[in-house]
Structure 1
Amino acid sequence: MENIKAIYQSNFKENVYPFYTHLRANDPIFAMSQEPNHTTWVITKHEHVKEMLKSKSFIKDQRKLFSNNQSHEKQDNGEINIFQNMMLDVDPPDHTRLRKLVQPYFNPKTIKELKPRIIEIADELLDQASEKQGPVDLIDEFAFPLPIIVISELLGIPSEDRNKFRKWSNTIVAASDEFEPDFMEDVQAFTNYLTDLFERRRKSPENDFISSLLQAEEDGEQLNRDELYSMVVLLIIAGHETTVNLIANTMYALFEHPDQLEKLKTDTKLTATAIEEGLRYYSPVDFTTARWSEDDMEFHGKTIKRGDLVLASLASANRDEEKFEAPDTFDITRKPNPHVAFGYGIHFCLGAPLARLEGEIALRKLMERFPNISMVENQTSSPWRPVFLLRGLEGLKVTIV
């Protein structure tokens, strides 16, 4: 519907939560757009979202439904497709195989071993930020570099190349709304970079994740070429983009609620529950990526046709008054907190333990190092990036002295 598109292009991110409240009460399975042979649905209630994400009737691989893979038409003009067979967009058994391949790198035990290094990186970044004169952008100086350094070191990406991924990932994430003019140029640059990096690692393997993936590819059945590229692209983007939002959004919510910020300063042991509340209150991922109905079906009173696109609003589910007491209240002591910010079912976010750890360390270090940290007022009339799938800030200027 054109009116929905217009809302997104104006101030939808600022006013979305009352809209979700209205949908949950009046039209929880919402037909966001309707074409002659296709409807896009948005699911907004917590229990419905969980049911949809767990259901085998909603599939990720649209090639099972459409002979012409239209959503990738603009990308399929090169020999290597970095989006082909991405773990995020396939169903079992391919999803099971790919997830099993990377799971050892993201299990809680492995992630816990990264804690000393993450603390070290956080301290180094805050040392650098403290040397700057005047207000600093917390995203540029801290929330962005922290997770990109961590995932780069895990993958084995040279330190001098990390900042290249910010532009590339921003372009790719923005393409969830519409293709930017430089989309293909950035995709090609990303592909060329990975091709060169893979060649270097094949010649000289190191003790990193990319070297392990290359070995899996050479072993034959576990990983093919396009899956290799897609896996690394997914881990780079998902491994930092959403964590940037988690850290910055949670700090923004704390600044909006001074009583909660003061509570956290007084007791930094609350960082774990503060991060969970940040995940719920300003969910870093607003919508799940696309799923399609494999057959005609009835879903809570709505007829969903084969091939209809279905999205779950994690942001809406996390403010559902039927699941959360005072859902629009930001409470860093909230327990229990059964949010679905990391999704649900077999596609539950693989990087959740890492994101949680990075978020907790980030908040604790900020409170310890800069107990008088405050947000610069009137930074912008529209703080949120106009990206459909994600909720992230354009910037976050703070005073740290």
Structure 2
Amino acid sequence: MADLIDLTEHGEALYADPHAVYAELRELGPVHRVRLPGTEPWDSWLVVGYEEARAALADPRLSKDVSRIQGPTLEERVLGKNMLNADPPQHTRLRSLVTRAFTARRVEAMRPRVQEITDGLLDAMLPHGSADLVEALAYPLPITVICELLGVPEMDRAAFREMSNEVVAPTSAEAYTAAMHDLGAYLTELIEDKRCAGPADDLLSALIRTTAEDGDRLSGEELRGMAFLLLIAGHETTVNLISNAVRVLLTHPEQLAAAVADLELVDGVVEETLRYEGPVETATYRYAAEPLEIAGTVIAAGEPVLIGLAAADRDPGRFTSPDSFDIRRDTRGHLAFGHGIHYCLGAPLARIEARTALRGLLERAPTLTLDAPPANWLPGMLIHGTRTLRVRW
């Protein structure tokens, strides 16, 4: 058995700068058995090397369906099955049904609305001279976009934010369980309301109507599970992509100056942020469906495996000077959106939102600077970012 490395010993420093910890781990090897921080610390394998992470993301021996290993999780019992906790052929079926409704055309059609929302948020923010960027722009843009896309009523969004925050960065096991049950009840009611209301143009209504060529449709439980995945993944990640991009730019003045001088570099800002300080620190759990080896390390059947996306994307074996933030870098191959059959379905929408927000912000507030040191880091190892980001201009 490999030596256990206790990550809880790093305390809050792990949340503020996980990259320093991952660099130490990579020096020791690409795969480690670790004790993870959280409301209930537990042990897992952690993959920190790029090549090993990329291979593991596409390895069918690493199951996303934990019910095959240890029975249904709380999430699955309360919310139902979604693409992220399913393996083929179930995953193939679910993803096929969702992509029939969540099309490239539907995403591209959102572009003018994303611009309109961004402009409105900046109109409200800029006269004040300073703001919490998360509260003023990074949060309201993606939550508005995903809620409009799915058809979530505006009056529900504040309550949804509280539930969502607790799910991705739990403050306690009890609060997490309560948030899961609240989300399950809310989504059940939302789906039933849409069934009763009849045809509408939002994505959730389209998912309710979607039928495969063989007549297959999403069940009520599957609709709830998919709505949960799209709502949570559709905004929490993008909130932190936008705020991380601004935070990193403001701590790299030469890169900020280059982007302000040439807004065509904004696409590079987004992609380098995804590699350098991506919002998803580790992919959600996989479980060894059978005994296997990763880089010579034996992992027994049933054991959990975390794939470190942030760790892999700073691997010097893959990216030159990986700890340097360079918006002109060739970032192709980064793993911020995953790899293989679970590659993020919402990546095109996230890119549209982040590019639009950053371009608008840099164009209209070229003197942007930090108003306070970054703090209030999100706990856990799923999402990396801060709850607040004070800026001025």
Q: Shared fold by TM > 0.5?
A: yes
**Secondary structure of 1:32's partner?**
strand
The one-letter amino acid of 2:6's match is: N
Match of 2:39 in 1: none
The partner residue of 2:187 within 181, 186, 194 is 194
Match of 1:3 in 2: 6
2: distance between equivalents of 1:161 and 1:50? 38
How far does residue 62 in structure 1 lie from its aligned partner after superposition?
A: 1.9
**Is the Cα–Cα contact under 8 Å of residues 46 and 308 in structure 2 kept in the other structure?**
yes
2: distance between equivalents of 1:224 and 1:148? 26
2: distance between equivalents of 1:394 and 1:336? 27
Q: Which runs of structure 2 are paired with 1:1-400 in the superposition (5 Å)?
A: 3-7=6-10, 9-33=11-35, 40-66=44-70, 68-69=71-72, 71-72=73-74, 81-82=78-79, 84-132=80-128, 134-175=129-170, 179-205=172-198, 206-216=200-210, 221-378=216-373, 380=375, 383-400=376-393
1: distance between equivalents of 2:247 and 2:43? 35
How far does residue 188 in structure 1 lie from its aligned partner after superposition?
A: 3.0
How far does residue 47 in structure 1 lie from its aligned partner after superposition?
A: 0.7
**Is the Cα–Cα contact under 8 Å of residues 19 and 311 in structure 2 kept in the other structure?**
yes
**Secondary structure of 2:293's partner?**
strand
How far does residue 377 in structure 1 lie from its aligned partner after superposition?
A: 3.0
Q: Which moved more, 1:153-162 or 1:270-279?
A: 153-162
1: distance between equivalents of 2:281 and 2:20? 14
2: distance between equivalents of 1:329 and 1:204? 52
**Is the Cα–Cα contact under 8 Å of residues 142 and 238 in structure 2 kept in the other structure?**
yes
1: distance between equivalents of 2:254 and 2:117? 29
**Secondary structure of 1:162's partner?**
helix
Given the superposition, is the C-alpha separation of residues 182 and 33 from structure 1 closer, same or farther in structure 2, using an over 3 Å criterion? closer
Q: Deviations over 1:26-78 (max 9, x none)?
A: 121111149xxx96210011110010011111111122223x44x43xx68xx
Q: Which structure 2 residue ranges, 5 or more long, are not aligned?
A: 37-41
**Secondary structure of 1:387's partner?**
coil
**Secondary structure of 1:357's partner?**
helix
How far does residue 107 in structure 1 lie from its aligned partner after superposition?
A: 4.1
How far does residue 179 in structure 1 lie from its aligned partner after superposition?
A: 4.2
**Is the Cα–Cα contact under 8 Å of residues 217 and 225 in structure 1 kept in the other structure?**
no
The one-letter amino acid of 2:81's match is: N
**Secondary structure of 2:386's partner?**
coil
Given the superposition, is the C-alpha separation of residues 325 and 379 from structure 1 closer, same or farther in structure 2, using an over 3 Å criterion? closer
Q: Deviations over 1:167-218 (max 9, x none)?
A: 111111124xx74433333333323322332222112121111112222489
Q: Which structure 1 residue ranges, 5 or more long, are not aligned?
A: none
**Secondary structure of 2:333's partner?**
coil
**Is the Cα–Cα contact under 8 Å of residues 280 and 383 in structure 2 kept in the other structure?**
yes
How far does residue 104 in structure 1 lie from its aligned partner after superposition?
A: 3.9
The one-letter amino acid of 2:382's match is: L
How far does residue 138 in structure 1 lie from its aligned partner after superposition?
A: 0.5
The one-letter amino acid of 2:390's match is: K
Given the superposition, is the C-alpha separation of residues 31 and 230 from structure 1 closer, same or farther in structure 2, using an over 3 Å criterion? same
The one-letter amino acid of 1:25's match is: E
Given the superposition, is the C-alpha separation of residues 299 and 165 from structure 1 closer, same or farther in structure 2, using an over 3 Å criterion? same
The one-letter amino acid of 2:186's match is: Y
How far does residue 159 in structure 1 lie from its aligned partner after superposition?
A: 1.8
**Is the Cα–Cα contact under 8 Å of residues 293 and 310 in structure 1 kept in the other structure?**
yes
**Is the Cα–Cα contact under 8 Å of residues 275 and 331 in structure 2 kept in the other structure?**
no
How far does residue 2 in structure 1 lie from its aligned partner after superposition?
A: 8.2
How far does residue 338 in structure 1 lie from its aligned partner after superposition?
A: 2.0
**Secondary structure of 1:182's partner?**
helix
The one-letter amino acid of 2:136's match is: E
1: distance between equivalents of 2:196 and 2:16? 50
Given the superposition, is the C-alpha separation of residues 215 and 107 from structure 1 closer, same or farther in structure 2, using an over 3 Å criterion? closer
The one-letter amino acid of 2:365's match is: F
The one-letter amino acid of 1:208's match is: D
**Secondary structure of 1:306's partner?**
coil
**Secondary structure of 2:88's partner?**
coil
1: distance between equivalents of 2:117 and 2:16? 33
The one-letter amino acid of 1:5's match is: T
The one-letter amino acid of 1:269's match is: E
How far does residue 336 in structure 1 lie from its aligned partner after superposition?
A: 4.2
How far does residue 20 in structure 1 lie from its aligned partner after superposition?
A: 1.3
- Percent of aligned positions with the same letter in both sequences? 38
1: distance between equivalents of 2:33 and 2:6? 13
How far does residue 156 in structure 1 lie from its aligned partner after superposition?
A: 0.9
